[in-house]
Amino acid sequence: MLKKRYHINLNSMFGYMLMIVVTIIPFISKSYLFSIIVWIREAINSGDSGNLVLASASTNTFFTIYNILLYISILLIIGQMKALKSYSDVKKRVVLILLFLFIKAIFHRWLMLPWEPLNDVLALFLITLLMKISKEQMVFISNIIVSVQVFFAIQWINIMPILSNFRIGVNDISVSIKIVALYLESESILNTVGIAFLIPLIFSSMMTALLYRFHHRNMVIVEENYQKARALESMQAKVMENRIYQEINALAHDLKTPLVTIRGLNSLLLLSKDLDKLSAYSERIESAVEKMSEMISSFLYGKSRQVLDIPVLINYIRSQIPIEDESLQFIIEYKESLPPIIVNKIRVSRAIINLIENAIIAECTEPEKRILIKIEKDEFNIIFKIIDNGIGIPSNELEHIWKIGHSTNNTSGLGLPFAKQTIEENNGTISLESKYGIGTTVTVKLPIANEENRGEE
């Protein structure tokens, strides 16, 4: 708050300092104004219209700087006025114009400066119009850049003899320049020079306003995209939290079996007096505890790896997928001689279960849905192929299937991204092929356990 207040006070202070500079400029620039008179006299003596153009450029530059400093000072001051905080940009612009003209009128009387009220009104009107076009009203930098071009452009109409009949350029210096131009028969030169500055500068100010409009639009789009990206990141984070919650639920469900086993065996221990049975019960309890410990470790330590036999994995997956649909034909094909894999048992099992569940819920146009899990091997990997005869995925959807939240079955859109992440974390690969109206095949490759990678356990 203190920093903001300091910033506001600094802007106001700078505005008042510029106002003071504006009041003393006429006193410290007398020699500069006198040099303009000298150039006009030299033009008469030498008959050189170049000195006349130089005098015109110097005059216009002086009054442009004077007007810009006054404009900036008023812009800074009214920008910090509390009474104007609730005003719209249009009302602030009206206040700025009236205050500018009022102060110029006072300075004209007090400092005896030449003044062209019509020029100031025209310049301020053009600035307001251009700022409206740019949609950057009252923005300081854009305001100043456009204003400098407009003020300098409008100053050139004061020295154009062709506009004298319209009561433009009636101050002493402008009249003197046009009289000398008439004497030297150089009116066409001044008109040409005036137009050469006026039209390009007005065009340039318009282009600047349009550039700021495009910049403003782009900044709005960038901000909107940033907010959308933030919202998407937040949504994805919540999605992943939900995924973790589902994993915990699955783990809790899996832990029920060994817990029930332990509880039942503990009851038998209390009733049995046979030492042989007690030993067998104790071994089974120990096995159940080890199983629970393995499940919890696999879940908590995602980078942990266990050597897993394929039949054990198949039995675990079977126990987690109750088949309730009688029209579903569920087949698993594999050879007993397949070597074990080295993976995180719980996470990889959950990933494969997700893939199978996706196949189960996929729409099917045939009377009987078939899901075939085919397990093979190559030199380094065990290959799982999950093949279904569902409706398939349209080709234009295939590139989006791995994105979080994307779904073709009105699901959460978590299963495939989670499966892909889990398989890749376990040094495996996953790919999907689908033909719309025929079916889908998901291929998962997981590394075979060998002496080299067993060290990862």
Q: Which two tokens stand for residue 312?
A: 């054990």
- For residue 192, pLDDT over 90 is answered with yes
Residue 200 pLDDT class (50, 70, 90 cuts): very high
Q: Structure tokens of 189?
A: 């030169």
Hey, what amino acid is at 355?
L
- For 427, other C-beta atoms within 10 Å of its C-beta total 15
- Measured CA to CA, the distance from residue 250 to residue 242 in angstroms comes to 12
The bridge status of strand 439-447 relative to strand 341-343 is unpaired
**Last-in-domain residue among 271, 300, 329:** 300
What tokens were used for 83?
């009474």
Domain boundary residue among 208, 231, 254?
231
Q: What is the pLDDT of residue 82?
A: 66
Mark whether 190 and 241 lie in a shared domain: no
More reliable by pLDDT, 11 or 122: 122
Q: Are 181 and 190 in contact (CB under 8 A)?
A: yes
Torsion of Cα atoms, 235 then 241 then 247 then 252, to 10°: -140
Q: Is the same domain home to 211 and 112?
A: yes
Long-range contacts of 233-240 (CB under 8 A, 24+ apart): 235/405, 236/404, 236/405, 239/404, 239/405, 239/412, 239/413, 239/414, 240/404
Which SS3 state, helix, strand or coil, does residue 114 take? coil
pLDDT band at 199 (very low <50, low <70, confident <90, very high): very high
Structural domain range at position 49: 2-231
User: Tokens 């053009």 belong to which residue?
Assistant: 126
Q: Does residue 430 contact residue 420 with C-beta atoms inside 8 Å?
A: yes
Instruction: Give yes or no for residue 342 having a pLDDT over 60.
Output: yes
Domains in the chain, number? 3
Q: What is the mean pLDDT of the chain?
A: 78
Strand pairing class (341-343; 369-377): unpaired
- Residues with Cβ within 8 Å of 92's Cβ and at least 6 positions away in sequence, in order, are 78, 84, 137, 138
* In contact, 323 and 359? CB cutoff 8 Å: no
Which residues fall within 8 angstroms of residue 450, CB to CB, at 6 or more apart? none
Least confident of 1-10, 50-59, 362-371, 442-451: 1-10
Q: Are residues 338 and 451 in the same domain?
A: yes
- Whole-number Cα distances in Å, 365 to 85, 362, 393, 411, 440: 66, 10, 13, 19, 13
> pLDDT at position 7, please?
47
The token duo for 22 is 């504006």
Token pair 């114009």 in the structure block, residue? 97
Indicate the length of the chain as a whole number.
Answer: 457
Domain boundary among 275, 300, 325: 300
* Interval 119-130 mean pLDDT: 82
What's the CATH number where 393 sits?
Answer: 3.30.565.10
Question: Does 320 lie in the same domain as 225?
Answer: no
Q: Are residues 275 and 219 in the same domain?
A: no
The reply to whether 438 and 373 lie within a common domain is yes
Answer for the pair 341, 383: CB distance below 8 angstroms, yes or no.
Answer: no
Domain check: are 240 and 99 in the same one? no
**pLDDT tens profile 61-112:** 988 998 899 888 888 887 777 666 666 777 777 888 888 888 888 877 776 6
- Check residue 96 and give its pLDDT: 80
Whether 323 and 451 map to the same domain: the answer is: yes
Between CA 382 and CA 345 the distance in angstroms is 14
Band the pLDDT of 6: cuts 50, 70, 90. Answer: very low
pLDDT at 61: 92
Do 205 and 351 share a structural domain? no
* Contact by Cβ (8 Å): 201, 153: yes
pLDDT: is 198 or 29 the higher one? Answer: 198
The C-alpha atoms of residue 416 and residue 418 are separated, in whole angstroms, by: 5
Q: What CATH number should be reported for the domain holding residue 288?
A: 1.10.287
Residues 440 and 346 in one domain: yes
Band (396; pLDDT cuts 50, 70, 90): confident
Token digits of residue 239: 């999605």
String of DSSP letters for 10-56: HHHHHHHHHHHHHHHHHHHTHHHHHHHHHHHHHHHHH--HHHHHHHH
Model confidence over 306-333: pLDDT tens digits?
788 888 888 888 877 766 666 778 888 8
Read off the pLDDT of residues 413-427 as tens digits, 9 standing for 90 and up: 456 787 888 888 888
Query: Are residue 355 and residue 253 in the same domain, yes or no?
Result: no
Residues 183 and 38 in one domain: yes
- Percentage of residues in the chain with pLDDT exceeding 90? 8
Rounded Cα distance between 120 and 136, Å, is: 21
* Res 4: pLDDT: 47
Mean pLDDT of 111-117: 71
